[in-house]
Amino acid sequence: MKNHKTIVPLISWAFFDFAETIFSANILSVFFPLWLTQILGGKPFHYSIVYSLSLFTSVILAIIVGKYADRLGKRKPIFLAAVSLSSISLIMLSRTSTLHIALAIFFFVNLFYQQSLVLYNSLLPSVSEKGNRAFSSGVGVALGYVGGAIGLYLISMVSPTETFAFVLVAFGFFFFSIPTGFFVKERPFKAISGVSVKNILKDKGFVLFILSCLFLTEAAHTIILFMSIYLNKVYGMERHDIVPVIAVAGIIAAISAPLIGKVSDRFGVKKVFNLLFPLWALAFGVFPFMPRFFVYLMGIIIGVLLASLWTTIRPILLELSPKEEVATRFALLSMSERMAAIVGPLCWGFMVEVTDYRIATFTLAIFPMIGWVIYLWHRKTVCV
């Protein structure tokens, strides 16, 4: 019975990882940009501008919402509100046929979606204990990769139009988020009215951790965005060759995430996270010199590294956060990751222009090495 009481909330919580990757893979990566450019006559820069604006606004709003959730002592109701508003906005998007209205509605679709991510992460303490937190995080990561693959395949197969896909994703996103509302009981904590971002930023150890994450996730976001381009330009691979490599990376990530979580809980999540910096740097240092017949090995390595990063980062933040400030601190981590998603790809794109694809990828090794120096400083600061 005890196991049942533990497993049901965990799986229910992790199903949001399943739900949100269905959303991101279908809406952000495929159907909305295609619909915008092919049906509504929009340009790629329309999508870039609105997506960037919504992301920037979401970071500011997440800090405000996170503070409110912490002060109220109720994160789950606000999480469910964000999921509902994003789903409703997505259905509204399916009913429009003009470019400017579609862009305006999409702004809110993504804005509320981003809020749900921050609040979801803040519920991890409600479904785990300190001794199994990394494993619990890994279960979510695994379901996320599964959701992205299954959701993209099924919705692509059954959707005759992009707007029909919007409706399916809206219901899927809402439906798979509902278990969190029903089966996750938010653990009570003593809410404090004085949650202050200014005071949190005085926590030197926390700030150094956030900065180290910024440099590490810059490399991760860059490889996620440009792996297909790299394989095409460097190895001459076409789409039918590239997809299996990326699929292998996703499958390996899904399988390895819970295992990495177990190892992290056993030997210390901070020790495992510490190893990721040199391993990411080594990967970027070696990949440019690997011949084509090693591309599947590259996919396997990337899958393990991505799973390790997303599995360990949440438990460490929780260790560094008083329980009454968790949502606010996850909002600050979200800000770091959003900055990384912008800076890393920009640097890589610039290096491609002035050098070539192999050298540009090799230079990505600098990011995790800088992050490692900052993380070691962080560990010294918190005496770990």
CA distance 86 to 23: 10
Under a CB-based contact definition with an 8 Å cutoff, are residues 27 and 102 in contact?
no
Q: Which CATH class is domain 197-382?
A: mainly alpha
Residue limits of CATH 1.20.1250.20 in the chain: 2-183, 197-382
Query: What are the residues whose beta carbons fall under 8 Å from the beta carbon of 130, sequence distance 6 or more?
Result: 319
What is the 3 state secondary structure string of the chain? Answer: CHHHHHHHHHHHHHHHHHHHHHHHHHHHHHHHHHHHHHHCCCCHHHHHHHHHHHHHHHHHHHHHHHHHHHHHCCCHHHHHHHHHHHHHHHHHHHCCCCHHHHHHHHHHHHHHHHHHHHHHHCCHHHCCCHHHHHHHHHHHHHHHHHHHHHHHHHHHHHCCCHHHHHHHHHHHHHHHHHHHHHHCCCCCCCCCCCCCHHHHCCCHHHHHHHHHHHHHHHHHHHHHHHHHHHHHHHHCCCHHHHHHHHHHHHHHHHHHHHHHHHHHHHHCHHHHHHHHHHHHHHHHHHHHHCCHHHHHHHHHHHHHHHHHHHHHHHHHHHHCCCHHHHHHHHHHHHHHHHHHHHHHHHHHHHHHHHCCHHHHHHHCCHHHHHHHHHHHHHHHHHCC
The pLDDT assigned to 269 comes to: 95
Using one digit for the tens of pLDDT, what is the confidence trace for 190-233? 766 667 888 888 999 999 999 999 999 988 888 887 788 888 88
* Amino acid 383: pLDDT: 65
Identify the pLDDT of residue 141. 95
C-alpha–C-alpha distance, residues 91 and 168, integer Å: 9
Query: Angle of helix 76-94 relative to helix 44-72, nearest 10 degrees?
Result: 160
Q: Which residues of 243-268 are buried (b: 16+ CB within 10 A; e: fewer)?
A: eebbebbbbbbbbbbbbbbebbbeee
Structure token pair of residue 169: 């994703």
- State how far the Cα of 288 lies from the Cα of 262, in Å rounded to an integer: 32
Two tokens at 336? Answer: 């770091």
Question: Quick one: pLDDT at residue 1?
Answer: 37
R_g of the chain computed on alpha carbons:
20
User: Residue for token digits 């278990």?
Assistant: 179
Q: Do 94 and 163 form a contact (C-beta atoms < 8 A)?
A: yes
The pLDDT assigned to 2 comes to: 46
Res 133: pLDDT = 94
Q: What is the CATH architecture assignment of 2-183?
A: Up-down Bundle (1.20)
What residue ranges of the chain have pLDDT lower than 50? 1-2
